[in-house]
């Protein structure tokens, strides 16, 4: 069974998922960005983006970056207590 992302940032049909990975060096995060679209009755995902979607992708990735830094700082501050 696949692990769920720890956080999702969504702007319209643009979705950025944040994944937590435990490594020998400590906790790391990775990010995936997709565009949702419909093909008939089914929702699908694509990793290709059009020109007009790029500002939303950039905004979603910026929010993901902020979330990772805020949560990494919170986790390290809790470990110091």
pLDDT along the chain (81 residues), means of 10: 88 97 91 97 97 97 97 62 47
What confidence score (pLDDT) does residue 81 get?
Answer: 47
Query: Is 29 part of a structural domain of the chain?
Result: yes
Query: Is 1 part of a structural domain of the chain?
Result: no
Distance between the two ends of the chain, CA-based, in angstroms? 34
Query: Is 73 part of a structural domain of the chain?
Result: yes
CA pseudo-torsion sign 64, 15, 57, 9 = negative
What confidence score (pLDDT) does residue 25 get?
Answer: 87
Q: In the chain, how many domains are there? A: 1
Contact assessment for residue 75 and residue 27, using Cβ atoms and an 8 Å cutoff: yes
**pTM attached to this predicted model:** 0.83
Query: Is 49 part of a structural domain of the chain?
Result: yes
Q: Which domain holds residue 34?
A: 7-80
Query: Is 2 part of a structural domain of the chain?
Result: no
Q: How far apart are CA 19 and CA 1, in angstroms?
A: 15
Query: Is 37 part of a structural domain of the chain?
Result: yes
């Amino acid at each position: 069974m696949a692990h769920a992302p720890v956080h999702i940032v969504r702007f319209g049909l643009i979705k950025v998922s944040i994944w937590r990975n435990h490594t020998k060096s400590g906790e790391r995060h990775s990010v995936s960005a997709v565009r949702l679209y419909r093909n008939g009755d089914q929702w699908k995902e694509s990793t290709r983006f059009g020109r007009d979607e790029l500002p939303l992708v950039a905004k979603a990735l910026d929010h993901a970056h902020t979330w990772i830094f805020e949560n990494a700082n919170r986790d390290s501050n809790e470990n110091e207590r």
